Structure 1
Amino acid sequence: MAFDFTWLLWALPLAFALGWLASRWDLRQWRLEGRQAPRAYFRGLNHLLNEQQDQAIDAFIEAVRHDPDAAELHFALGALFRRRGDYDRAVRVHEHLLARADLSPRDRERAQHALAHDFLKAGLLDRAEAAFQALLGTRYDTEARLALLGIHERSRDWARAAQMAEALEGSDRGSFRLRLAHHRCEQAAALQRHGHTSEALALLEALVTRIPESARAWVSLAELRQTLGNTAGALAALESLCTHCPEHVPLVAHGMAQWSRLLERVEPTRQRLRDWAQHHAPSLDVTQALASLETDPAQGRQQYLHHLRQEPSLVAATLWLAGVPLGAADEDPLVRRALERASEPLKRYRCAACGFESRQYFWHCPGCQGWDTYPPRRVEEL
């Protein structure tokens, strides 16, 4: 039986027509989806500019649904989730990006960086640490080290914090010497609490040799020496502080006065404090220390008058009035108590970064967690 080729004349045009219709249908679908995705994207951008985060998130989710391969949309969506405080969804977005095999190395590092910040914002320090560790050696290396330094400080892992500060010292983010000194002082304090006094002493003595500009190192060394009964060594440490960190003398003026009286070395300390007062702005703490070194109370009160001539001060006036013998009027104690109460807030220290005030001087602000943000002067003197 002969094969009939006539049906091919009908099949070929029919197949061509069907293929053409299918391609047109796919093209229409592609164009439709392409129009929907940009429209959703621009709608989300409009909501974002108008600070309407919830509506922006909905629009970006719709855009991602139409174009699941768009990495930029995922990054925008993850950033919105994090800003909104929805850290769980932000983590899922960035983990989804990292799971993609077709992601470029640059976008992979970017997704890892975003994921690390998601964990950090959520307070998951262990997972944030692991995520930032993965960024070491990348273009986010310095930023990752800074974040790891903050994590180690928050977890009070001072040894690892010191190592990270050492690694950052050569970076372009400034000097980390004083921050390193704080870490070593914290380590020394921990050693002292656990009874390892000799190791703490050796650590602090090496620290002041390496970083003499650290006021805290000298103060910690002086306090430890005094604890061990070495008052002369403690006073010598504070005298070295006067040389290397003169702006912090008000913090140690009382200690210098007290220890110099114990060692009967009042005159050298008095002269040192007077020399400091001649070259710096008036300080209530230095004035009070000088007054305490005077054997005659009347001479001590003259120190407060001298301070008042240089700078009006309610605290200095209250201290001067405290040394005046009570008069015949019954109101004298009432007036003095009122002045003392009014001057009490002026004796506090205030963080220059966040404004947190306290009666105690802090090297590490409890409010903003900043180092060396407290000026070594009272509120009234700022």
Structure 2
Amino acid sequence: MDFDLSWLLLGFPAAFVLGWLASRLDLRQLRLENRQAPKAYFRGLNYLLNEQQDQAIDAFIEAVQNDPDTQELHFALGNLFRRRGEYQRAVRVHEHLLSRGDLSRADRERAQHALAQDFLSAGLLDRAEAALQKLEGTKFENEARLALLAIYERSREWAQAEAVAQKLDAAGQASYATRRAHHLCEQALEHSSQGAAEQALALLKQACELAPEAPRPAIDLAALQLRAGDSAAAYETLRRLSEVAPMALPLYAAQLQQAAQGARRTDEARALLRARYAQSPSIDVLEALMALGSGPDEEASEESAASTAGTPPRHGYLRHLQHQPASLVAASRWLSQEKFSDDDRTHAPVQRALDQAARPLLRYRCAACGFEAHQHFWHCPGCQAWDSYPPRRVEEL
């Protein structure tokens, strides 16, 4: 059978036409997909601007499916998941990015930072710590250190917190000396509770040198010196503190009075407290003066004699009311020491009512979040801010 060349001549053009048609179909499909991806992306942006997060997520998922190699879409989707509280989905998106071998170094660092934020938002502090530590030496280093510092402070890992704060201090962007002093004081408290007084003393002296104008290191150091029976050293510590931090005197007035009595320097302490009280009246300074046998004024012979006999000089509260006419605390404490003829019938219920009304006024209030407490905190348990509690009670603010 002879081969017919005419079929070959007809087959070449037909194959060419079929190949051309196939290529055109592929190009049209590619153009269609490329057009769909941007449309889905911009549709997601439009939903996001209109605060329609559910629709925005659906649009971004569609865009990612059409173009799985686009990093920006993954970042946008992961951030949306985190903002909605869907932390597991956010973690999966960012871990998928980190698993890609074609990711640039800048995008890898960005994905690592986003993953750390996912863990922080979810409250997984141990995993957040590990993720943040991998950002050392990147452009996110400073932000990662701040987050690590917050983690260590919240978990009360004070040695690690001080180490991170030291790095931040060395970076020179801000001073962390006072914060580091707080960390040293916290470590000193732990050592002191374990009976390691020498280690606690060394840490407190280091804190005083690091932040000489901060009141807490000196106050804690004086308390440790008083417990050790060294009243003279405690008085000298607080006397120096009164020169650099006079506004904090209400916090350590009672300690100063105790140290002065132990060191036999009551006259000097009385003059110091009276001078500070004249500048800024405070119920705590007043009661320290009364414990030393003196009221807020010079003419206190009657009160001094009464104090020596063991009776508190109640007239000091009356003089305080001259400076602070609205002081319900002073009025309540003066009334508690007064004697009336019908004491059993009226004094006790009136006293209870006044004490109950004055109790909230004796609290300390955080200036950052408004959290109130009966004791003064250096580290607010509400908002975790340092030195946010004024040294004066609510009534005196």
- Give the TM-score, by structure 2 length: 0.88
8 Å CA contact 1:290, 1:300 repeated in 2? no
Which residue does 1:235 correspond to in 2?
235
Which one of 302, 305, 323 corresponds to residue 318 of structure 2? Answer: 305
- Quick one: which amino acid aligns to residue 147 of structure 2? A
Closer, same or farther in 2 for the Cα pair 1:215/1:5, shift >3 Å?
Answer: farther
Which one of 304, 321, 330 corresponds to residue 335 of structure 2? Answer: 321
- Quick one: which amino acid aligns to residue 368 of structure 2? A
Closer, same or farther in 2 for the Cα pair 1:336/1:109, shift >3 Å?
Answer: same
The CA distance in 2 between the partners of 1:286 and 1:323, in whole Å, is 19
Which one of 382, 385, 392 corresponds to residue 370 of structure 1? Answer: 385
How far did residue 11 of structure 1 move? 3.9
TM-superposition CA deviations, 1:301-335 (whole Å, max 9, x none): 44333333333322122223233333436322222
How far did residue 192 of structure 1 move? 1.9
Which residue does 1:206 correspond to in 2?
206
Which residue does 1:289 correspond to in 2?
288
Do residues 192 (structure 1) and 192 (structure 2) align? yes
How far did residue 3 of structure 1 move? 8.8
The CA distance in 1 between the partners of 2:205 and 2:220, in whole Å, is 10
How far did residue 178 of structure 1 move? 0.8
The CA distance in 1 between the partners of 2:305 and 2:339, in whole Å, is 14
Give the share of equivalent positions with the same residue, in percent: 57
8 Å CA contact 1:353, 1:373 repeated in 2? yes
Closer, same or farther in 2 for the Cα pair 1:7/1:361, shift >3 Å?
Answer: same
- Give the TM-score, by structure 1 length: 0.92
Which residue does 1:110 correspond to in 2?
110
Q: Secondary structure at the match of 2:170?
A: coil
How far did residue 168 of structure 1 move? 0.5
The CA distance in 2 between the partners of 1:5 and 1:194, in whole Å, is 104
Do residues 350 (structure 1) and 358 (structure 2) align? no
* Alignment map for 1:53-72 (pairs within 5 Å): 53-72=53-72
- Quick one: which amino acid aligns to residue 319 of structure 1? R
Closer, same or farther in 2 for the Cα pair 1:173/1:374, shift >3 Å?
Answer: farther
The CA distance in 2 between the partners of 1:373 and 1:8, in whole Å, is 92
Which residue does 1:129 correspond to in 2?
129
8 Å CA contact 1:78, 1:89 repeated in 2? yes
* Alignment map for 1:54-93 (pairs within 5 Å): 54-93=54-93
- Quick one: which amino acid aligns to residue 289 of structure 2? L
The CA distance in 2 between the partners of 1:86 and 1:97, in whole Å, is 17
The CA distance in 1 between the partners of 2:116 and 2:9, in whole Å, is 65
For structure 2, the residue ranges without an aligned partner over 5 or more in a row are 294-303
4+ residue runs over 6 A deviation = 1-5
Which residue does 2:300 correspond to in 1?
none
The CA distance in 1 between the partners of 2:140 and 2:270, in whole Å, is 53
The CA distance in 1 between the partners of 2:94 and 2:201, in whole Å, is 48
How far did residue 221 of structure 1 move? 0.8
For structure 1, the residue ranges without an aligned partner over 5 or more in a row are none
Aligned residues: 381
TM-superposition CA deviations, 1:163-217 (whole Å, max 9, x none): 1111111335421111100111111122222322112112212321232122111
- Quick one: which amino acid aligns to residue 242 of structure 1? S
Which residue does 1:273 correspond to in 2?
273
How far did residue 4 of structure 1 move? 7.3
- RMSD, matched Cα: 2.4
The CA distance in 2 between the partners of 1:14 and 1:58, in whole Å, is 45
Q: Secondary structure at the match of 2:258?
A: helix
